[in-house]
Chain A
Amino acid sequence: MIVAATWLARVLSWVAAAGLLGMVAVNVVDVTLRAGLNKPIFGAYELVELGLAACAFLAMPETFLRGGHIRLEMIETLVPRRIVRGLDVFGALATMGFLVVLLWHMVEPIRDMVRYKEVTFDLHMPVVFGGALVALGLVGSLLVVLIVFVRDPARAFDARPER
């Protein structure tokens, strides 16, 4: 099952990487065209924002998989290992609860984006494109935490992929 979580995080990371490199490319081309020909990329801001949605949110599952989110580590040295494992189970459950409630209440704003055909200012790109990337990243994060939790509840934030 960890293999499934690893692959999910990896595939989303590839898209996130494309978003990151896309942001670099848009900025470089935009500045070059603006400086050289006085013709910047139309809607560069919106393209960068789309790249950011991919880069920031689709990278979250990978961060969850590697236990990269900020937690209070100090407690590990103060209490017995058994209690730390119990706290880790609680932490995983709390995180999953947070993500479930968050995703549930993101459904309505996404529906509104589709229902009212919201588009961006310059490119008239459907706003739901960016919204979908944000939601996908959080769904991926929830799945990764869930998969790792099912396999070993106490290691939900300290998973290492199986090779």
Chain B
Amino acid sequence: MTPQVIGLIGMGALIVLTFARVPLGAAMGIVGLAGYAAIDGWTRALVVFGTTPFSLSVYAFSVLPLFILMGAVATRSGMSQELFIAANAVFAGRRGALPMATIGACAGFSAISGSSIATAATFTPIAVPEMRRFGYDLRLATGSIAAAGTLGILIPPSVIMVIYALAAEVSVPALFAAGMIPGILLAFLFIVVVWVIAHVRPDWAPASPPLAWRERVRGIRAMWKLGLLFAFAIGGIYSGLFSPTEAAGIASFAAIVLGFATRKLDLAGLWACIIETLRTTGMLMFIILGAWIFAYFVVQTRIPVLLTDTIRDFGLSATVVILIIIAFYIVLGCFLDSVAIVLVTVPVFLPVVTGLGFDPVWYGIIMVVVVEIGLITPPVGMNVFVIRAQLGDVPLGTIFAGIVPFLAADAVLIALLLVFPDLALWLPRVLY
């Protein structure tokens, strides 16, 4: 049996184990070990298998729990509420101001939280009651939060980007820089979608009362804590003062100090943040462990080489291949969590994509944008479930219906990134 055939059988086995509800980390580890052994013998496979866990406690991975801790502390310290007030101060008085403010606040919150689910979960109880009070249509209210929540993984720091960077062996700071412009652009496109909805269906988006300039300035000034954390987390990296890990450590510490100084955080709250961070880190490291073993197997199968050769034989253009990969990701997003998608597919597709001449940093951004779509589309749509869990009286169908117009913004962003790759690549080039 050729390595490629073993590889395809392995992929099939992974699908079967995944559908059998085996935790994905274990499923990838089992398939990785058995597949590697089938190609290269049990002796070598077991050596790789037994040493992989030790190779994960390396410095590069330490950025993950530290950024997760920063996001958890910032959320518990009530910075999200201040952000919403600040964003509302910008948009107040316009038709559709509250969904626009929600999108603005989610974009700002993304700068301190690397998680889409956390972003959506944080803003649902803040924004939805306000939108209900002013008579907004629930489809627009919930759809805007679900969509804006996805900015959490596109605007740095982003947990998914760190995982992609580690799996693809690209620079974390370069990837963070690459996500900045597409993230801001997507937030802008989401706001445009709200603007269009507000004009097509004015009954969905009533105008909120305008604010006096003094109140607007006061609201915006409340964002200073976010600005400070962003300066530590991202500014420190690009000024050359800190490595990503140091930046994450300093920003976590700053978030804790700010939380205590402003009396928004106590010891019990800090402990809850630590436990939340540990659970998320434990989950991530287990799936990364399985993914690393799986990646060794994929390399042995030479499937990426086979895929590249097949593409060459069929004479497909690079753009067509990327579009096929994007379509594949969208389908995969219907079944798998975003972390799992990145870890399972990077060893297979990255060599193909780089072989076609695409930049791995650019591909990382495309992947994050496409994975985002999976967070808001059925049947998995984690952001939607998080919102639904907090709004017991809103049917899932209402939230999914509200999301549909925002998917257009995602499609426009993907098209822009395909046509103008520099939207992602310009900033890393300037900063490095």
> Which residue numbers of A lie inside 8 Å of B, CB to CB?
13, 16-17, 20-21, 23-24, 26-28, 30-31, 35, 45, 48-53, 55-57, 59-64, 66, 68-75, 77, 84, 87-88, 90-91, 94-95, 97-99, 101-102, 104-109, 130-131, 133-135, 138, 141, 157
Which of A49, A61, A72, A98 contacts B62 (CB under 8 A)? A49
Binding stretch for chain A, among B83-91, B249-257, B308-316: B249-257
Task: Please tell me if the beta carbons of B57 and A60 are within 8 angstroms of each other in the complex.
Answer: no
Task: Please tell me if the beta carbons of B66 and A75 are within 8 angstroms of each other in the complex.
Answer: no
- Residues on the A chain within 8 Å of B340, using CB: 70
- Residues on the B chain within 8 Å of A45, using CB: 59
| Docked complex Cα distance between A24 and B69 (Å) | 10
Task: Please tell me if the beta carbons of A63 and B283 are within 8 angstroms of each other in the complex.
Answer: yes
Which label, helix, strand, loop or mixed, suits the secondary structure of the B interface?
Answer: helix
Task: Please tell me if the beta carbons of A62 and B282 are within 8 angstroms of each other in the complex.
Answer: yes
How many residues of chain B get a CB closer than 8 Å to chain A's CBs? Answer: 62
Q: A27-B66, A55-B278, A91-B20 are in contact. Are A74 and B245 (CB under 8 A)?
A: no
User: Is B274 on the interface with A (CB-CB < 8 A)?
Assistant: yes
Nearest CB of chain B from residue A159's CB, rounded to whole Å: 14
- Cβ-closest chain A residue relative to B33: A101
- Cβ-closest chain B residue relative to A61: B282
Task: Please tell me if the beta carbons of A21 and B21 are within 8 angstroms of each other in the complex.
Answer: no
Which of B22, B253, B274 contacts A90 (CB under 8 A)? B22
| Docked complex Cα distance between A105 and B46 (Å) | 6
Which of A30, A60, A72, A131 contacts B282 (CB under 8 A)? A60
> Which residue numbers of B lie inside 8 Å of A, CB to CB?
17-27, 29-30, 33, 46-47, 49-51, 53-54, 56-59, 61-62, 64-66, 69, 241-242, 245-246, 248-250, 252-253, 256, 271, 274-275, 277-287, 335-337, 339-340, 379-380
- Residues on the B chain within 8 Å of A13, using CB: 275, 278
- Cβ-closest chain A residue relative to B62: A52
- Cβ-closest chain A residue relative to B293: A102
| Docked complex Cα distance between A90 and B30 (Å) | 13
Task: Please tell me if the beta carbons of A130 and B54 are within 8 angstroms of each other in the complex.
Answer: yes
| Docked complex Cα distance between A135 and B274 (Å) | 22
- Residues on the A chain within 8 Å of B49, using CB: 101-102, 105
- Residues on the B chain within 8 Å of A64, using CB: 282
